[in-house]
Structure 1
Amino acid sequence: MYADRTINCVGTCQSPMLLIEGEMEVLEKGQVLQVTADRRDLVEMVRSWVNESGHKIEEEHVASGVTTFIVRKGATPAAKAP
């Protein structure tokens, strides 16, 4: 699948969730971000973040310990009332 933007978090990647969130911010609703990660904790964080932020994982592949996500940007969820 074609990705509008990509981010590689394999190996050393400082503040990966900030990088991923920043890349997603520049995309329009419906566009696609490809994320590659090799850390289990980061893979779980990406899955959780996608569910909480209104985006959708279109594809998820694992090869040689590297997970590749294809994430479609959805609507940003409304802020929760205090």
Structure 2
Amino acid sequence: MYADKTVNCVGSCQSPMLLIQGEMAVLERGQVMQVTADRHDLVEAVRSWADENGHTIEEEHVASGVTTLIVRKGAAPAAKAT
């Protein structure tokens, strides 16, 4: 699948979730970002973050210890009432 943005978090990626969030912020709704990661905890964090923010993980592949996630940007979550 074609990705509008690619974020490589394999190896020594500084502040990976900040990088992923920043790259997603510049995308339009419906565009796609590819995230590659070699840490299971980061993959879990991306799944959770995507779910909490209305994004959809459309594909997930694992090869040689590297997970590739294809994430489609969704709508911004509704503001919570205070």
Q: Same fold (TM over 0.5)?
A: yes
**Equivalents in 2 of 1:79, 1:12: separation in Å?**
34
**2:45 matched residue in structure 1:** 45
1:16-67 deviations in Å (ceiling 9; x for gaps): 0000000000000000000000001001000000100000001000000000
**Equivalents in 1 of 2:59, 2:45: separation in Å?**
16
TM-score, with structure 2 as normaliser: 0.98
Structure 2, unaligned stretches of length 5 or more?
A: none
Identical-residue share of aligned pairs (%) = 80
Answering whether residue 58 of structure 2 is matched by residue 58 of structure 1, we say: yes
**Equivalents in 1 of 2:69, 2:15: separation in Å?**
18
TM-score, with structure 1 as normaliser: 0.98
Q: What is the Cα deviation at residue 7 of structure 1?
A: 0.4
